[in-house]
Structure 1
Amino acid sequence: MWSVLIVEDQSIVRQGLKLMLEQDSRIRVVAEAENGQEAINKMEAHVIDVVLMDIRMPIINGIEATRKIKERWPHVKILILTTFNDDEYAIQALKNGADAFLLKTSDQHALIHAVYSCFQGGLPIHEEVVAKVMPRLLHKLEKKLELPLSSRELDITRLVGEGKTNKEIADELFLSVGTVKNHITQVLHKLGLRDRTQLAIFAVKNDLT
């Protein structure tokens, strides 16, 4: 069972999210917070697997709270859930370690699917957000990087940055899941990165997606 912390400054929204999430037997909401500082306090008091994080909140906003939580609890998955379809918010959240970026227009199925996708190594991003972020990133493609990666490793890095799971990458590139995992391990080693989330952020920050 996955333990969830909901960070949202509106009580009625928190209650609605809790009701939606707990329709799944593997998900249990164990704590709630009204702002980023309270979220950090709750992290210290509970064992949390997933944080559902709003962005615009008092005291400490969701972007900064994501950074602080990831620094102390890097294994915790953080799903940004916001009303604001803003490409800068999305990019900053991913840079700070967010594992997903969804809009509050998402339905229950999309929300629960995002939780599962994160734990399977995916990086789910709402399609409306992708539609705004991708043109901005593509506009910078003239910036070339000298990376110690093979063409296959670059392909896999790009797909990780797009939020694809190992199974989805394997299907797209006609590889086995094991081969994909081996390639990712090699890429992490070559780039000096710690985990898949850092690789996804690297891909986004360096316009590889």
Structure 2
Amino acid sequence: MESDETLKIFITDDDIFFRSGIELVINAEKHLTVVGSAGNGKETLEKIKDLQPDVILIDIKMPMMNGIECIRKLKLEYPHMYILILTTFNEEEFIIEGLANGANGYLIKGIDFINLVNTIQDVVKGQYILPAEVASKLATYLVNTINKQPKLPEFIYSNNTFTIREQKIMSLLVERYTNKEIADNLSVSVGTLKNYLTVIYEKLQVKNRQEAAALLRNR
């Protein structure tokens, strides 16, 4: 893209006040303009068909369709579109899934406006955006997990069927951790863990923990 061309930006975030603030900042720049915004991934997919932005700024947790699922669909349909995750969530699961599904960078809200504008301009030059705090957290996670989880069946890793967190839960389940121990490991409540397990059982097409563990150990 030529330096004198105006970059078209689309903002996806369920906080309308945040969207409005970012829009004011971006539109104040000479070669940047916000062409549209949305409050969730589903609305984003509907709007950008006509708008065709160059860069999308997108949050992670939103109603209707979250950021990760939206990124996955965007990259399938618009592989050359630049996507920057801009979120408050710094969990390893979101970082890995966001980048694995095609995001060109991962930013944490609170970034000053000058750096945000510079980052938008950098990403269209082919730079991969990963601030030091995100890169450090990702590196630590990878070091701590490599070779420390039992090998799960190959089908678990195919077709993006299971999220990173679901894979972690299944690994702990195979190691015979209790629900309380798994919940503590993931820093979630036992109730939240049970919700995860329900989804895992449905995806595995099993009825309970025992059947799931047997399937994961024997495949």
**TM interval, short-chain normalised:** 0.5 to 0.7
Query: How many corresponding residue pairs?
Result: 143
AA matched with 2:112: D
AA matched with 1:33: A
Query: 1:140 Cα deviation (Å)?
Result: 5.7
Unaligned runs of 5+ in 2: 1-5, 149-219
Please list the CA deviations of residues 62-92 of structure 1 after superposition, one character each: whole Å capped at 9, or x if unmatched. 0110010010001110000001111110110
What residue in structure 2 maps to residue 49 of structure 1?
54
CA distance in 2, matches of 1:123, 1:91: 14
AA matched with 1:13: F
CA distance in 1, matches of 2:22, 2:143: 34
Unaligned runs of 5+ in 1: 144-209
> After superposition, where does 1:7-156 map in structure 2 within 5 Å?
7-139=12-144
CA distance in 1, matches of 2:29, 2:147: 45
CA distance in 1, matches of 2:66, 2:100: 15
CA distance in 1, matches of 2:94, 2:29: 29
AA matched with 2:21: G
Alpha-carbon RMSD across the aligned residues, in angstroms, is 1.6
Identity %, equivalent residues: 36
CA distance in 2, matches of 1:88, 1:117: 25
Larger Rg: 2
Instruction: Please give the secondary structure, in 1, of the residue aligned with 2:89.
Output: coil
Query: 1:141 Cα deviation (Å)?
Result: 6.3
Q: Could you tell me whether the CA contact under 8 Å between 1:114 and 1:124 is conserved in 2?
A: yes
CA distance in 2, matches of 1:142, 1:60: 33
Please list the CA deviations of residues 118-175 of structure 1 after superposition, one character each: whole Å capped at 9, or x if unmatched. 11111111222112111122346679xxxxxxxxxxxxxxxxxxxxxxxxxxxxxxxx
Instruction: Please give the secondary structure, in 1, of the residue aligned with 2:37.
Output: strand
Which TM-score applies when normalising by structure 2?
0.62
Which TM-score applies when normalising by structure 1?
0.65
CA distance in 1, matches of 2:147, 2:119: 32
Instruction: Please give the secondary structure, in 2, of the residue aligned with 1:21.
Output: helix
* Highest RCO, 1 vs 2 (Cα 8 Å, sep ≥ 6): 1
